[in-house]
Amino acid sequence: MISTAGWNRSPLEHYSKGLKVLDIGFQNTAVCESRITHIDGNLGKIQFRQYSLDYLLEHHDFIEVAYLLIWGHLPSCAETQNFEGELFKQSNPPGIVIDVVRNFPRGTPNFLIIVAGLSAWAAYSADHIPIHAGENIYLGSPDAVDSGIIRTMSALSVVIALTSYHQQGKQFRSPDARNSFVGNQLLMMGIVNSETGKPELWTERQLNKLWIIYADHEMTNSTAAFLHVTSTLADPISGCMTSLLSGSGPLHAGAIDLAYRSFQQIGSKENVAKLIADVKAKKQRLFGYGHRIYKTVDPRIYHLRKMMDDLAGRAASNPLLSIAMEIDRIASQDTYFTSRNLKANADLYGCFVFSALGFEPEIITATAAMARSSGVMAHWREAMSDRPNIWRPQQVFTGVVL
């Protein structure tokens, strides 16, 4: 539906009669301009700033890629050290956060615990919340934005680890100033060498790669949710909570968790053929296959498969991997999928790489969200350098007008 109120009309007339495009699900609507991430869905390429994903995976660590996304250039050694140092300074959880996390039943969905923990963290430093301070804090204030980025990423990292430990009934381990940001995530989540009590460098290198793969994916639902909230000039931790809840849905990042669970329900690769038949008959949904953006192979799949080769026995020891591989084998040869350009996406194999590195299945989606926070923060920083523009989409009323 397209209509126009014409030129030289009042704002009210433009709102009620002006240009209006009905685009359900925003499938063809661009909500902003950005210099951060470019995805070519036809060629299957991802670009962060002026670098290809392939190049960054080969030559850089996650913290450097996060810096690139947020501040627009690859950091010097001094900038990297300062970035990690600032993240570490903000990584001491307030007591109220620990209490909130521990008061949840251990079987509670982890996203609810994480959001509550972040809410407690924000409450502990309420001066950073614009409505509490009684003024705009972030728009047009790059120093305040940069501080908010550090505070939000640190809070999310720690609360994810606190939640994981709580659900496993274990004691939380504080980060170590001698570790990298990624190394401290492993330390805080107990993924360490049993003898030294420290993260293994090999595991840290693999997690660096995995987090780079998940660092950003342009204007996803959860990124848009974050920007929607913060377009009102809300604080970044509040935006992060919204983004996490958006990501927990089964049609978004929650698909990582549901893909893993669906493999458990299938039971063995001998049952995959029936699953595929049910999917084609629209009796079941196939998680880990197909993507709105890609008309060819999801480029992240190539790197995830390579990581599984590097992980060798660790990934292969997971009995569910054979199910995922059988799904990929059958679907990639079936005209139902090939004629629709439906191919494997990152959700099909990503869960196995996380699992092989030692992450519990229940916390995998949240850990992927930690990686994505770097991209989300980059988009927020970009938005806060622009003019204020609250996101307020319109609708097409289909009821009876009185």
CB 244 within 8 A of CB 116: no
- Residue 286: HSE in the Cβ half-sphere, 13 Å Cα cutoff: 28
Task: Specify the 3-state DSSP secondary structure of 344.
Answer: strand
Task: Give the angle 12-13-14 at the CA atoms, nearest 5°.
Answer: 90
Separation of first and last alpha carbons in the chain: 21
Question: How is residue 248 written in tokens?
Answer: 């927990």
With contact defined as beta carbons under 8 Å apart, do 241 and 293 qualify?
A: no
| CA distance linking residue 328 with residue 289, whole number of Å | 8
89 membership: H or E segment, kind and range = helix 77-89
- 174 Ramachandran zone, left/alpha/beta (phi>0; psi -120 to 50): beta
Tell me 268's DSSP state: S
* Nearest residue to 219 via CA among 70, 55, 32: 32
DSSP letter (8 states) at residue 312: T
Distance of CA 333 to the CA centre of its chain: 30
- Residues annotated as catalytic are 291, 347
CA separation for the pair 243, 235 (Å, rounded): 13
DSSP string, 7-69: SS--HHHHHHHS-----GGGTT------SSEEEETTTTEEEETTEEHHHHHHH--HHHHHHHH
